[in-house]
A and B are shown apart, each in its own frame.
Chain A
Amino acid sequence: MATTDRVPVTVLTGFLGSGKTTLLNRILSEQHGKRIAVIENEFGEVGVDHQLVIGAEEEIFETNNGCICCTVRGDLLRILGQLLKRRDKFDYIIVETTGMADPGPVAQTFFLDDEFKTQFVLDAIVTLVDARHIEGHLEQMNEPAEQVAFADVVLLNKTDLVSEADLERIERRIRAMNGTARIFRTRNAEVPIAQVLDVGAFDLQRALAVDGSFLEPQYPFEWAGVYALSAGEHMLRSGAESHAAHDHHGHDHDHHHEHGPDCAHDHHAEHVHDHGHDHDHGHDHGDGLGVVLLPVAAATADGLTASIETAVRAFAEDSTAVACGGALSPGPQLFRIDAAHEGGQFHLQVPQAGAYALFFEHAPSEFNLRLEGAKPAAERRFASHHHDGEISSIGISDPRPLDPQKFNDWMSYLLKSRGEDIFRMKGVVSLQGEDRRYVFHGVHMMYDGQLERPWPAGKPRSNTLVFIGRKLDRQELEAGFHSCLA
């Protein structure tokens, strides 16, 4: 059967209250002229015009002799099999998972066997995120992070309930876990249907168009700026500027970060008391924000780039804590400033006029950090290094062709040895002696790869591979990749 005949399936995940039902109702009530079948996670069968809503009870099948990764949804196998028994197929099928669901089994169902692969195509995993509660959820349990990691599309929903600064921080955090997902900010799950149905998310080139920054190595800092500074003292301030303080504070009371309203308050203790858990694995600014101030050759982008190596080394060193009102001096020295301090101020002591680069562990906008009276001559963002449950994305891009057998061996090894930790992988590969692109994708240990359209004649070819998972080791993956070079 031609691939174009396959019915696209969208998997809808998201924590309780993230807006899945709102989105579903929106899709079903909109006049789009498409025949859609929805498989919901609860009973109650309702047909809306030509659309079908089916209640399903999640039933997990372990296949392949009980291997924990090779689980599929037995109920989906039966229901989808039944939905095929029509002369005209549905245009789309949407599968909604329960709030606490691991998206693995539902995604893996579509890799199970040829019977399924020829009839259905997993079009996209769409994850709804409740902007107001996601940070708390990420710190309390694993499921929300897994749902984000699996996603092709993330709807950052309920954006009206949080501030712009919160949204930026959340979005960066999502991006750090999942380098390829398209992120849309929504209120009431309002999003054009075309962004969630039939999006062809498994088209890797489209996925990579989102943001290639995760292909870069990860740096211990998220932002750097280069300034031309005069000799003397400069003031680095944190927290809201006075006229905005009230607004910002108004959004803060229900969040789980450590922006505090005043100097005397012990925020960390309050946080622990509130939620009764420990923050070792969370996104925690409690130890202060890492800052390095380096003299550089020129206040230009090149000057900044030339100082990156020194900054990386400085970030690996022991840090010096700087309290509110304390001072920082230039050099390969890591300072930790109490940036969470509302209205905090820190003195930069500049011995002589010149170009200086400031490296911040987290984006300065998270703390409204600003160097008073100075604007960066050049600035640069770096791939975020937050680790939510140690989930991250690693990309590899390399133009050299691969040996087919070696690549096959590496993939087999990866699936066997790391399948449990690799949630998703996708790639387009240039194989030695092959005119067509080899395109693959996988979910845990389930894998599907095939030769697709030819490489354009006379143009350079390139391998692009993406891994999203837990405890991924860039060096190990790169070494594996390099072992496949023809």
Chain B
Amino acid sequence: MKQTAAILEPRGSIALDDYVADLGWSHDGTRLAVAGGEGKVFLLHRDGESLRARQVAEHGLGAIAVAWQPGGKVFVSSGQDSCVNLYDGDSGERRVQRRPSKQWTTALAWSPNGDRLATAAGREIVVWSAALESERTLSSLDAVVAAIAWDKPGRDLAAAINGGLVLHRLDGDVVEVRRLKWAAPCTTVAFSPNGKVVATGTQDGSVHFWYLATGRDSQMRGYPSRVAHTEWDGDGKYLATVAHDQIVVWDFRGKGPEGSRPVQLLGHTERVVGVAFQPRGGYLATIGLDWRISLWLPGKAPRALDAHLTDAEPTVLRWSPDGRFIAVGERSGRLTIFELVRLV
């Protein structure tokens, strides 16, 4: 255990004048963007433990999501005004505003190399060029999109809908559609980083996944309610799944998880609202309505390595791209940075 023990050390905090609904890190970890549930969009600069914030825009009635371009200098936001905005990541200046739909754009997903942005609103997905100059609408969906995700090579874009997953292979002007049907409202989607598996969590309390090479699928039941999160570790070995206060980790090594007993991470006493694996690492961070931030190493220990209490209900959790820090947002507007410190 000694080699793997680690704790989270606070490394700065700031109070924003809005509910922290979403946040995203710049690729170098020096800046963060925040979407406020009441509408404000903030750009934060981080220098050591010092955080400076500036409001850069407002989405009327509420901001929903933010996303930094991987490896790039821009970020995007979406809101209840149905707009998608693109900002300069240094100045915070809004460069472009688009309104792809009358409905809310609820999901933003940059392709892993940052050359395209996918946005989802209602039954429509739009795939934009990086500067939001050109667009292509994917009209293959017959239900409202709950979540979208790219695979690691940025070749396939998956959408979770009521009735399964819809995979779009984008190749020049050609879009090849593959439907992975499952008769349940699918609410999440996540490709394993090794490209072998795509998983979804459903409204009726199960996890369903497909082996992409063969199309073979499996279902994991027994969750108490909606599976709200499905997150892979950096190697595609573990799939962390969350329903209410239960965190269940499936082991995809060897023969895979079918018939195996999953690891249950025990500690949260209220609903878990955020879960994320460290990029390229094995640590898992979670936040819950018990106002607790927990750090885990699934596969090594079923108990948390470290835990902190927040000042208010935590809302969102994101790792910095280098896997050194996590940022945790709260309902009150507080945003706190923690550093992962290994104990040797």
Stretch at the interface among A41-49, A216-224, A317-325: A41-49
Choice from A57, A78, A86 contacting B62 with Cβ under 8 Å = A86
Chain A: which residue is nearest B37 at the CB level?
A: A85
Quick check: A82 and B144 within 8 Å, CB to CB?
no
**B24 at interface (Cβ–Cβ under 8 A)?**
no
Choice from A61, A85, A87, A113 contacting B225 with Cβ under 8 Å = A113
| Interface residue ranges of B60-91 to A (CB < 8 Å) | 60-62, 64, 80-82
Q: Using an 8 Å CB-CB cutoff, how does the interface string of A79-94 with B read, 1 for contact, 0 for none?
A: 0001001110000000
**B332 at interface (Cβ–Cβ under 8 A)?**
yes
Across-interface contacts of B60 in A (CB, < 8 A) = 47
**A64 at interface (Cβ–Cβ under 8 A)?**
yes
Quick check: A87 and B80 within 8 Å, CB to CB?
no
Chain A: which residue is nearest B315 at the CB level?
A: A85
Choice from A43, A47, A52, A78 contacting B102 with Cβ under 8 Å = A43
Across-interface contacts of B61 in A (CB, < 8 A) = 45, 47, 52
Quick check: A86 and B37 within 8 Å, CB to CB?
yes
Q: Using an 8 Å CB-CB cutoff, how does the interface string of B144-157 with A read, 1 for contact, 0 for none?
A: 10100000000000
Measured between alpha carbons, how far is A114 from B64 in the docked complex, in Å? 23
Choice from B64, B146, B204 contacting A82 with Cβ under 8 Å = B64
Shortest distance between the CB of B314 and any CB in chain A (Å): 13
Quick check: B144 and A75 within 8 Å, CB to CB?
yes
Quick check: B102 and A87 within 8 Å, CB to CB?
no
Across-interface contacts of A65 in B (CB, < 8 A) = 204
**B45 at interface (Cβ–Cβ under 8 A)?**
no
- Whether A64 touches B144, Cβ cut-off 8 Å, given contacts A45-B82, A115-B244, is no
What interface size band does chain B fall in?
20 to 34
Across-interface contacts of A63 in B (CB, < 8 A) = 184-185, 203-204
Quick check: B102 and A59 within 8 Å, CB to CB?
no
Measured between alpha carbons, how far is A44 from B101 in the docked complex, in Å? 11
Quick check: A85 and B19 within 8 Å, CB to CB?
yes
Shortest distance between the CB of A448 and any CB in chain B (Å): 14
Quick check: A114 and B225 within 8 Å, CB to CB?
yes
Quick check: B185 and A57 within 8 Å, CB to CB?
no
Measured between alpha carbons, how far is A55 from B144 in the docked complex, in Å? 14
Across-interface contacts of B271 in A (CB, < 8 A) = 114-115
Measured between alpha carbons, how far is A52 from B62 in the docked complex, in Å? 10
Chain A: which residue is nearest B20 at the CB level?
A: A85
What interface size band does chain A fall in?
20 to 34
**B333 at interface (Cβ–Cβ under 8 A)?**
yes
Across-interface contacts of B183 in A (CB, < 8 A) = 62, 66
Chain B: which residue is nearest A43 at the CB level?
A: B102
| Interface residue ranges of B211-225 to A (CB < 8 Å) | 225
**A200 at interface (Cβ–Cβ under 8 A)?**
no
Interface centre among A43, A61, A77 (most CB of B within 10 A): A61
Across-interface contacts of A332 in B (CB, < 8 A) = none
**A99 at interface (Cβ–Cβ under 8 A)?**
no
- Whether A64 touches B204, Cβ cut-off 8 Å, given contacts A59-B143, A75-B144, is yes
Measured between alpha carbons, how far is A47 from B81 in the docked complex, in Å? 10
Shortest distance between the CB of B334 and any CB in chain A (Å): 11
Across-interface contacts of A114 in B (CB, < 8 A) = 225, 244, 271
Across-interface contacts of B231 in A (CB, < 8 A) = none
Choice from A64, A85, A113 contacting B226 with Cβ under 8 Å = A113
Chain B: which residue is nearest A54 at the CB level?
A: B80
**B122 at interface (Cβ–Cβ under 8 A)?**
yes
Shortest distance between the CB of A251 and any CB in chain B (Å): 43
Across-interface contacts of B80 in A (CB, < 8 A) = 45, 52, 54, 82
Measured between alpha carbons, how far is A246 from B203 in the docked complex, in Å? 60
Shortest distance between the CB of A314 and any CB in chain B (Å): 54
Choice from B21, B37, B38, B225 contacting A115 with Cβ under 8 Å = B225
Across-interface contacts of A47 in B (CB, < 8 A) = 60-61
**B103 at interface (Cβ–Cβ under 8 A)?**
yes
**A364 at interface (Cβ–Cβ under 8 A)?**
no
Shortest distance between the CB of B243 and any CB in chain A (Å): 9
- Whether A61 touches B37, Cβ cut-off 8 Å, given contacts A47-B60, A75-B144, A113-B226, is no
- Whether A57 touches B203, Cβ cut-off 8 Å, given contacts A47-B61, A85-B315, is no
- A-B pairs with lowest CB-CB distance, top 3: A85-B37, A113-B225, A61-B185
A interface residues, Cβ below 8 angstroms from B: 43-45, 47, 52, 54-55, 57, 59, 61-66, 72, 74-75, 77-78, 82, 85-87, 113-115
Other 14 A-B pairs with CB < 8 A, given A55-B102, A61-B203, A78-B144: A43-B102, A44-B102, A52-B61, A59-B143, A61-B185, A62-B185, A78-B146, A85-B315, A86-B37, A87-B18, A87-B38, A114-B244, A115-B225, A115-B244
B interface residues, Cβ below 8 angstroms from A: 18-19, 21, 37-38, 60-62, 64, 80-82, 102-104, 106, 122, 143-144, 146, 162, 183-185, 203-204, 225-226, 244, 271, 315, 331-333
Chosen A-B contacts, 13 in total, with CB atoms closer than 8 Å, are A45-B61, A45-B81, A61-B162, A61-B185, A63-B204, A74-B203, A82-B62, A82-B80, A82-B106, A86-B38, A114-B244, A115-B226, A115-B244
